[in-house]
Structure 1
Amino acid sequence: MALPPRLWAELFFDGTWNPVTRDLRKTSTVTFTRGLSAESSSAAAPTVCECVLDNRSFTYAPRNPESDLYGKIGRNTPMRLGYYAGSPWAEMPGTAGNSLTTPDAAGLAVTDLDLRIELALEDWSQQKLAGRYEVTGDNRSWGLMMGGTGQVSLLWSPNGTLASRIQEFSTEPLKAYNGQRLTLRVTLDVNNGAGGYEVRFYTGRTVDDEEWNLLGEPVVGAATTAVFDGTAGIELGDIADLLDDTMNGKLFAFKLLSGIGTAGTVAASMRTSDAGAGVRSFTSGGATWTVNGGAALTNKHTRISGEVPEWPPSRDISGNDSYVSVAPTGITRRMDAGNKPEDSALLRFIRADNPIECWPLTDGLTSTRGKSLVGGKDMVPVLTSGSVPPEWGVNEMTPGIEPVIALKKETRGTITGRVPNSTSAASLWSVDYFFATAAQGDCGTFSIYDRGANTDADNLVYFQIGCDQGSDDLTVFRFSQGETSSSFALISTVTSPGVFDGLMHHIRFTMDPGGSDSVWAIYIDGVQADTGTLAGIVVKAVSQVSFSWSLTTSDPIQKADTLLGYVTYWDSNGPTAAEMWQAATGFPGEAAGARIERLAAEGGYTATVAGESVHQELVGVQTRQKLLALMNEAARTNFGYLLDARDRAEVIHHGHSTLWNQPPAVTLDFSAGLISSPFAPRDDDKLTENDVSVRRRFGQVPARQVLESGALSVLEPPDGVGRYDNEYTYSLYTDGQAAGTAAMLVHLGTYDGVRYSRITLDLANPRVAQMIDPILRLDVGDKVRLTRLPKDHGPDDVDVLVVGYTEEAGPDRWRLVLNCVPAEPWTAFTLDSDTYSRLDTAGCELTSGITATATSVAVTTTALRRWIDSATYPTHFPFDIRVGGEVMRVTACAGTTLSQTFTVTRSVNGVRKAHDAGEGVALAHPVYLSL
């Protein structure tokens, strides 16, 4: 392949992306760095690109007022770069009429349906994907769509009419990050043999995958069905007669089978790789496909979409050449700038939800009043003569939130704040406050005043909420006050409110004014404690709130400080009481991916997650750390990767469920010269951990997992490798999770194989260049398979996971260096899988020695469970075993006791030798229990 590769570069200014490719120095190497830099790294660094722009015209000088870009570029100007390389895909811009179509043909009729589409959507919701569906003439056959909440949807009609149309949705939403490339598959068994139909939804990597990940549960219909044939052609991207949004993203391939899996025959297929970039018509799968509307075939790869933090001017020694070396970097760089910890989960949550007013009362040590979070009036304390002032900035109500004001014992006073007039609160408002008091303390009296004029015609209505430790109750009083008359009433008594324990508690009072009556509710710690109606009273919006305390020794109960904070006023758009309590307690039990998405949104960023929510680990209390540290903490708990998106200013997360049981993204044959130097495998103990303790943050006793037998156990050599112990702290929801986390760390730390930490691919090598499409698709979290390795590496294929890479493109090289970790530990047991549903015995050995050519092998199981026999389970054969490094294929097994005889094919992995009695027998490719 000619060097340098065909690079492109763009800057964002004037509201659009503008090409700057002509100024990209082709004589300098462009370097992309992404993901983890080493196997033991705990978090990915920001994606970065290093490149040089020609600046002899001083265009790229933000301080040059004569530059065409003066005032348009500067710190953190968006920049993206990539290649034109490999096969094209269909860019689908998401507007009506953008599609790939092929006309009706005789072979499009299906019985059972197996539908697959490989794509990458900008947003995985509410989009049309593929269909054979025309309203005219009742030619409705089938359609595939993304639902509004992320569920995948299949609809079909047995006879072409709308009245007979059936639509089913996946029981779980698809969880993919924006722009993620994957394959959706849906199968329809029109007659499941039990009088009904069955629909299954899957995800995979390509339309040709043999192993698929089931999305949700199978959907079973009560009656058999059929798929109408009709005369409609196939539309991809925009199905004109369906109402959802047109596909917005990239389209790569499509396949329709009549019949399911290996029992099916291909009715239609399309691969954009069969076309050339820019063409409007091409042949694929024996059919002609037309590119319509704004859809276009392109091979413009984006390798980074980042921001330029600086524009350092440079020139050669003669002064005749001027250039600027820039390093556009992913959005995570800016997210991690500075050293200030993030506000607490509660404060971040309140700020993100735009309250009408909020006084956190988290002001510093020298404060004398509480500043408004939204720029309103201060909350001012007024003390009874002789009282000690409140203490600011020292006392926490609970771990993970900011210190709040402490109202000191032996003092009396009131702290008052006036709220802005809000018409939006006239129809519904809520006021929150948080407090903590000891068992012999007082939580004071909280008062809320409406905007009444304090006249007989317009009473001032206010409410007082107080807790009495002596009687162990919470009371709510209503007061109405005019010029000549007033009234009051006890409207609620909540017995045993459970707030006198020194811990943080939350009170919310909500008012829903009606035309003649008002409905109120009181909440304690996110749960409604009481509600009622104020007959004949219409409460207005709030004018001010205050908190009064009297912690003097005249009352023998009052012997402790009271803490107060986060006084907040909301309209009907505010969060629920339960959400406020969750935020205050740090969202314990939140799914890791949900935390990443929420944290990003609260900070004004976008994050999307790959991996269904049901498979995400639950994280513990959110503490005060920097934003990126909090997101990486959740990713670490979920055993996944947090990265800059490659093609947009977003953050993506690969959850651990996306790493298990992957098909290889690329297979590299070492003997074919596909791997270049440097290539330095290591058979060492760098990643070894066989004794791991994991403590849950804020938990009690750490959980410990130890590998006590086997080649990498804590036993002294030669029975093991000795003890390699470590202790970690994780953000976990329950102490029980700590044991699973420790077990996973031991599992990953006791992989018995060679480490291939660096794999180098020379993309200018013609043999490697033929694989450019899957290679450029490679990203962090993908699996690479190494085959036909030298004998000193062992006889088997080796799988690795990509955790990062460095890519160099220039006049003398185009090289990709992959940073990798072993992938075998990410092989999980899966029910109903042809590949991953077989479990090993807990111990087995050769009953007697065998020669290098013997095909009858006597084995004795030393554990409780024997091998299956072929007479009882004929469809479960063959399978592979490993004996002394030789892989044998078991084609039959005789015997139903612990002593059995295998019939085998020898030397499956190229090793053939004699074996002694007592040698271990195990599955050649074991699977493991996933998280």
Structure 2
Amino acid sequence: MAIPDSPLGTRVELQIGGTLENVTADALTRDPITITRGRRDGNSRCDVSQASASFKNTDGKYSPRNPRGPWFGQFGRNTEMRVSVQGPEAYLQLTGEAADIATTPDHASLDVAGDLDVRIEATADWYAPNSSQTLIGKWSSTDGQRSWILRFFNSSLVFNWTTAGTDASAVFIQGAIPGGLRRAAFRATLDIDNGAGGKTATLYWAPTMAGPWTQISQGTAAGTTPIFASTTALEIGPSQPANVPPRLPVRGRVHRAEVRSGIGGTVVASPDFRALAEGATAFADSAGRTWTVAGAAQVSDREYRMVGEVPTWEPKWSVGGKDVWTPVEASGIQRRLGQGQKPLASTLRRRIPTATGLLAYWPMEEGRDATQAYSAVAGVQPLSVSGFDFAADDSLTGSSALPKLKNSAKLRGTIPRSTAAGWQVELVYRLPTMPAAQTEILRVTVAGSTMRTAVVYASTAGVRIETLDSTGDVIAFFTHTNPVAIADFAGVWNRLQIFTSDAGGGQTNVCATWRDVTTGGGTWTAATLITGAQGAAVGVAGDWGAATTDMAIGHLAAIALAGSGTTPGSGIYQHADDGFSGETALDRLYRLSDEESGTIDLTWVDGDPSRPSEAMGPQRPLELLDLLYQAAETDGGILYETRDRIGMAYRDRTSLYNQDPALTLDYAAGEVAPPLEPVEDDQDLRNDITRTREGGSSARVVLADGPLSVQPPPAGVGVYDDAQTRSLALDAQALQIAGWDLHLGTWDEARYRAVTVFLHKAPHLIPAVLALDIGDKLVITNPPPWLPPGPIELIVQGTTETLGLRTWTITFLCTPAGPWTVGVLEDPVLGRLDTDGSVLAASVSESGTALEVYADPFLGPRWVDSVGYPGEFPFDVTFGGERATVTAIANRADSFGRTVANSWGTSSSGHAWTETGTVASDRSVNGSRGVITLAANVSNFRFQRIITTPVGDAEIRVRVSTSAVATGESALPAVLLRYVDSSNFYRARVHFGVSGTMFCSVTRGSTQIGVSQSLPYTYTAGQEYEVRVRLTGHTIRIRVWPVGQAEPAVWHHTETVVSSPIEAGGVGLMGSAFAGLTTVNMELRFDQFEIVTPQLFTVARAVNGITKAHAAGTDLSLATPMRMAL
């Protein structure tokens, strides 16, 4: 494809009479083909996909009812239509059926006796549960001629090999693949002799067969016996249909494969379909093997942009009939599923008819005016009932409303007699309270046994199973008297199973089992033994009185299946009785697609197979499409229509996390067509979220602060509330989902709702565009200077494309990708927690590389430092729209482990002390303490600054002590804040008073703010006290406690400077005393000094091309902070 110099190669096909007809020549170029897919305009559900075209109809070919038309009677409503373009390479298309494969005959070179290396590159649904998809192998469908096979099972790559050609001699290895794969390469190697008396098998995956290969599993097996040399052909897609589940060829595309003799050794087979001509049925590979494409498998180079159904044919013509045409619009499967579809029945009603050996089944889900209970099994008579209050109880989640029994009620049903040995009769019931006297619950009539009747009774004394002969005499019975078992029989929904099993020696077990299906109670069995055959259940009856009033019953079934011991033969009710509550969203989608396989073809992409999707509540009767979307909305992924077949696909929420770009567009290179318009709107804004579990509790999460908060403007945007009900297994999920939806609804970023690309002008982008699908990540680099610096990261929610003869335009409908970037533990970028409330503590120039950063202690911890955590550097931060790389973070601290005279010198953290006031000889460091000696003029201030850059808020911690107990007046060691000059500063001081008393106070310069606060301590000479000082705004808090004791939770003193406040200044320590101090040469001693915050960042500026001056108070955060995933 070399557009625009040659036609695009668009092809339109219609399913006519069971054959795909190429009708491209009839498509009118005046009406370009337009295709829309995905969701738009903030919809939670994807719109119906559509493809429009017009066909020339002068001969009546596209008039379905025209008998003169060549296709008369062969097409009509919902005719399949396919639109495709020629792709950049060919591939082998496999249908998933056993006959549709590619094969090459056995050859001596394929009987690898030594090490084996197998590789294949394919595109498929790798995450189908309970599905065994084969890739390549020499593996016969019958036992005895099996060498090896590479296959998939439940999201795991599996390699099997045999040493004797039989399953009995088979060995295997398997390993889970990563999530989110579509086109990928897989590899298995077998080292037949690992040097340790065994063999080693290893599995790998890679983006393509070109690598790089990532190991996903490795295992060893004893012995060095080589792989069995079978006579079986080498096949892409070998089959073993008799296996459970059947091993069938992968459904999808195979691009190429290799078999090597030796790990990385000689290539003995190398089918490569990428360069083959469309429709090729045979070819020779580079190793000389001749391959044949069999069955419905085919070599194709078509890339399907839409496969849909044409629901309407409406021929049109001009006046005079010279121009006759038929416009069509093919639609995705959602259109048909959304038209005239009745709700699916309850899960019990749907599940029970699939039971093996089902003889009779009466759901009892009738309306209120019913007089009988119909049979869901053809040929079986309805139940004869009286005293039934139909549709009176809808509390069983696996059922529609069921009847309750009135004071006097009866039931009679006939069961077709089976010749099978053994039987099981089962129903669901809810008995409000246990009867005081023995009361009949259900009676089964039996033929072909010494037992004529089996009856279950219940009372507060126990649950009894009783068998009677044809005369009504009791043959055998057993009463279960366990108090817990008795309690479990009533008050909740139960399943009651009456069944038989062969006890051997001509005897039969007759059992009654009940199990609580709604509250997680136990399973209990009352069993007795009779002599004689199991017989056949031929009737069921119930006669009830006052003791069973308001008992709800339903879903009565008879099954020709014997149990085993005291285990019933059929478990068909299991999980269906509670509506499959607790099953994951992906499991529900799989089950529904399996149950409705004739209606919907559903595949999925699992982003993380190691973690389950969201757990769901019970499935209630809804239309199939609503049930599918209910699962998608609970999990939070995207359910959309596939483009290469009539079906749907679901990509789960985890597949949207942390994606690599599927398409990167360079704006500066002209790869983005105009217009590219960011929108700041409130279409997707939701800041007050309530999520309710269906039938359960609710949770509400509100964004209280910030630019998109519920605060009225300008502090926020006002209230944008949203309340939804979800199908959830647990009430606790509602809060988690509400929090995630709030995260999505308050993502603060411009929306680029439409990104257009002219592919005919940028054909180099076509391969990436063809591979891109709904939910993939699109990135725009080098945006124009009038937009924020890039890249612009987006999630594709939908597409609109127009295909002309030589033009191809596609518009991607997008939302921000940012909220889908979530935390990953141990990841060097995504594994970093942000520090809330961080701001620039001081202004910085356009070129400055040192940042003072304040982390608000009330909101979070401070940043890691490069001394304690060197492996955490570098990382990127943003502030004021600029992105910078942090190469180091320094904490200013001093342990004073040096000896210095006439100064404090340089701190242990490498930062110099700046001294102001009195004489130098007043300062010293004695090897363990920083000392200020009050030698003369004791009231004069001695300032020690370690931060000279003006900063605002700060927190300091230090140990202080004095050389003696003060006499005359107090000594005043202090923390210095916002130092401007010797008259303008804040001071948090500790008073070491006379007689060991202690106080603390706050000053602005020499003026005390408020009163001194007495401390609950006394001191002695040399006794140290910890001091923490926090300055926020103009409020200073002081906390003091003895060294060795726990830090108190309270602040001992808090004062706010109101008069002449200081905005910023230096930080450090200072010392003085009140003028009346008489202690000679009093030493004020300081140790373990630390500036908790601000911290000093060393940065490389303008990482994103932005560089400018920033004011103090500018918010600073990680460029890619860890955001917790749901």
Which band: TM-score by shorter chain? 0.7 to 0.9
RMSD: 4.9
Q: Which has the larger radius of gyration?
A: 2
- Cα deviation, 1:482-513, whole Å, max 9, x if unaligned, reads 7xx95432234364434675543321223234
Distance in 2, Cα, partners of 1:783 & 1:344: 39
Asked if 2 retains the 8 angstrom alpha-carbon contact of 1:523 and 1:577, the reply is no
1:602/1:283 Cα in 2 relative to 1: closer, same or farther (>3 Å)?
A: closer
**Of 448, 456, 462, which aligns to 2:453?**
462
Counterpart in 2 of 1:519? 509
**Of 126, 142, 151, which aligns to 1:146?**
151
Counterpart in 2 of 1:137? none
Asked if 2 retains the 8 angstrom alpha-carbon contact of 1:315 and 1:322, the reply is yes
Distance in 2, Cα, partners of 1:564 & 1:240: 46
Counterpart in 2 of 1:540? 535
**Which segments of 5 or more consecutive residues in structure 2 lack a partner in the other structure?**
140-145, 228-233, 892-908, 910-1091
**Of 501, 506, 512, which aligns to 2:495?**
506
Task: Map 1:187-198; keep pairs closer than 5 Å.
Answer: none
Q: TM-score, normalised by structure 1?
A: 0.81
Instruction: State the secondary structure of the residue aligned to 1:698.
Output: coil
**Pair 1:840 & 2:834 matched:** yes
Distance in 1, Cα, partners of 2:275 & 2:8: 22
**Pair 1:490 & 2:477 matched:** yes
1:211/1:858 Cα in 2 relative to 1: closer, same or farther (>3 Å)?
A: farther
Asked if 2 retains the 8 angstrom alpha-carbon contact of 1:357 and 1:376, the reply is no
Which amino acid is the alignment partner of residue 542 of structure 2?
Answer: F
Which amino acid is the alignment partner of residue 777 of structure 1?
Answer: A
1:518/1:741 Cα in 2 relative to 1: closer, same or farther (>3 Å)?
A: same
Q: 1:744: how far off?
A: 0.5
Q: 1:706: how far off?
A: 2.3
Counterpart in 1 of 2:469? 480
**Of 780, 805, 816, which aligns to 1:786?**
780
Distance in 1, Cα, partners of 2:562 & 2:800: 47
1:461/1:48 Cα in 2 relative to 1: closer, same or farther (>3 Å)?
A: farther
**Which segments of 5 or more consecutive residues in structure 1 lack a partner in the other structure?**
134-139, 229-234, 384-388, 453-457, 552-556
**Of 731, 750, 753, which aligns to 1:754?**
750
Which amino acid is the alignment partner of residue 737 of structure 2?
Answer: T
Task: Map 1:622-701; keep pairs closer than 5 Å.
Answer: 622-700=619-697
Distance in 1, Cα, partners of 2:725 & 2:672: 39
**Pair 1:905 & 2:905 matched:** no
Q: 1:618: how far off?
A: 0.4
1:546/1:688 Cα in 2 relative to 1: closer, same or farther (>3 Å)?
A: same
**Pair 1:744 & 2:740 matched:** yes
Asked if 1 retains the 8 angstrom alpha-carbon contact of 2:364 and 2:555, the reply is yes
Asked if 2 retains the 8 angstrom alpha-carbon contact of 1:122 and 1:249, the reply is no
Counterpart in 1 of 2:928? none
Instruction: State the secondary structure of the residue aligned to 1:614.
Output: coil
**Pair 1:850 & 2:809 matched:** no
Which amino acid is the alignment partner of residue 364 of structure 2?
Answer: L
Distance in 1, Cα, partners of 2:495 & 2:754: 53
Counterpart in 1 of 2:28? 25
Asked if 2 retains the 8 angstrom alpha-carbon contact of 1:27 and 1:811, the reply is no
Asked if 1 retains the 8 angstrom alpha-carbon contact of 2:840 and 2:1116, the reply is yes
Instruction: State the secondary structure of the residue aligned to 1:699.
Output: coil
Counterpart in 2 of 1:386? none
- More strand, by proportion: 2
Structure 1 vs Structure 2: percent identity of aligned residues?
A: 28
Instruction: State the secondary structure of the residue aligned to 1:704.
Output: strand
Distance in 1, Cα, partners of 2:452 & 2:222: 62
- Cα deviation, 1:321-356, whole Å, max 9, x if unaligned, reads 443333332223332222633222221222444743
1:182/1:908 Cα in 2 relative to 1: closer, same or farther (>3 Å)?
A: same
The structure with higher relative contact order (CA 8 Å, sep 6+) is: 1
Counterpart in 2 of 1:391? 389
1:569/1:643 Cα in 2 relative to 1: closer, same or farther (>3 Å)?
A: farther
Counterpart in 1 of 2:718? 722
Counterpart in 2 of 1:455? none
Asked if 2 retains the 8 angstrom alpha-carbon contact of 1:97 and 1:240, the reply is no
Distance in 2, Cα, partners of 1:508 & 1:580: 10
1:731/1:576 Cα in 2 relative to 1: closer, same or farther (>3 Å)?
A: farther
Distance in 2, Cα, partners of 1:857 & 1:223: 62
- Cα deviation, 1:80-99, whole Å, max 9, x if unaligned, reads 33222333334356769837
Q: 1:46: how far off?
A: 2.8
**Pair 1:416 & 2:430 matched:** no
Instruction: State the secondary structure of the residue aligned to 2:396.
Output: coil
Q: 1:114: how far off?
A: 12
**Of 337, 340, 343, which aligns to 2:342?**
340
Asked if 2 retains the 8 angstrom alpha-carbon contact of 1:341 and 1:625, the reply is yes
Asked if 2 retains the 8 angstrom alpha-carbon contact of 1:640 and 1:656, the reply is yes
Instruction: State the secondary structure of the residue aligned to 1:82.
Output: strand
1:597/1:353 Cα in 2 relative to 1: closer, same or farther (>3 Å)?
A: farther
Distance in 2, Cα, partners of 1:672 & 1:211: 33
**Pair 1:119 & 2:117 matched:** no
Instruction: State the secondary structure of the residue aligned to 1:615.
Output: coil
Counterpart in 2 of 1:405? 403
Counterpart in 2 of 1:888? 884
Which amino acid is the alignment partner of residue 377 of structure 1?
Answer: V
1:861/1:120 Cα in 2 relative to 1: closer, same or farther (>3 Å)?
A: same
Asked if 2 retains the 8 angstrom alpha-carbon contact of 1:400 and 1:624, the reply is no
**Pair 1:711 & 2:714 matched:** no
Q: 1:829: how far off?
A: 1.2
1:91/1:623 Cα in 2 relative to 1: closer, same or farther (>3 Å)?
A: closer
1:432/1:52 Cα in 2 relative to 1: closer, same or farther (>3 Å)?
A: farther
Asked if 2 retains the 8 angstrom alpha-carbon contact of 1:714 and 1:724, the reply is yes
**Of 869, 873, 877, which aligns to 2:873?**
877
Which amino acid is the alignment partner of residue 672 of structure 2?
Answer: I
- Cα deviation, 1:350-408, whole Å, max 9, x if unaligned, reads 2444743211112233322111112233334355xxxxx53334442435632223332
Q: 1:544: how far off?
A: 1.7
**Of 755, 766, 786, which aligns to 1:772?**
766
Asked if 2 retains the 8 angstrom alpha-carbon contact of 1:461 and 1:539, the reply is no
Distance in 2, Cα, partners of 1:164 & 1:498: 52
Instruction: State the secondary structure of the residue aligned to 2:540.
Output: strand
**Pair 1:448 & 2:444 matched:** yes
- Cα deviation, 1:666-699, whole Å, max 9, x if unaligned, reads 0011222222245432122221222212111111
Which amino acid is the alignment partner of residue 531 of structure 2?
Answer: G
Counterpart in 2 of 1:292? 291
1:208/1:758 Cα in 2 relative to 1: closer, same or farther (>3 Å)?
A: farther
Asked if 2 retains the 8 angstrom alpha-carbon contact of 1:281 and 1:290, the reply is no
Instruction: State the secondary structure of the residue aligned to 1:739.
Output: helix
Instruction: State the secondary structure of the residue aligned to 2:743.
Output: helix
Asked if 1 retains the 8 angstrom alpha-carbon contact of 2:92 and 2:253, the reply is yes
Distance in 1, Cα, partners of 2:43 & 2:464: 55
- Cα deviation, 1:216-237, whole Å, max 9, x if unaligned, reads xx66779999x99xxxxxx994
Counterpart in 1 of 2:808? 814
Q: 1:804: how far off?
A: 1.5
Counterpart in 2 of 1:231? none
1:19/1:282 Cα in 2 relative to 1: closer, same or farther (>3 Å)?
A: closer
Asked if 2 retains the 8 angstrom alpha-carbon contact of 1:506 and 1:581, the reply is no
**Of 313, 324, 327, which aligns to 1:325?**
327
Distance in 2, Cα, partners of 1:723 & 1:465: 60
Q: 1:740: how far off?
A: 0.8
Asked if 2 retains the 8 angstrom alpha-carbon contact of 1:32 and 1:49, the reply is yes
Distance in 1, Cα, partners of 2:493 & 2:307: 44
Q: TM-score, normalised by structure 2?
A: 0.68
Which amino acid is the alignment partner of residue 591 of structure 1?
Answer: T
1:382/1:47 Cα in 2 relative to 1: closer, same or farther (>3 Å)?
A: closer
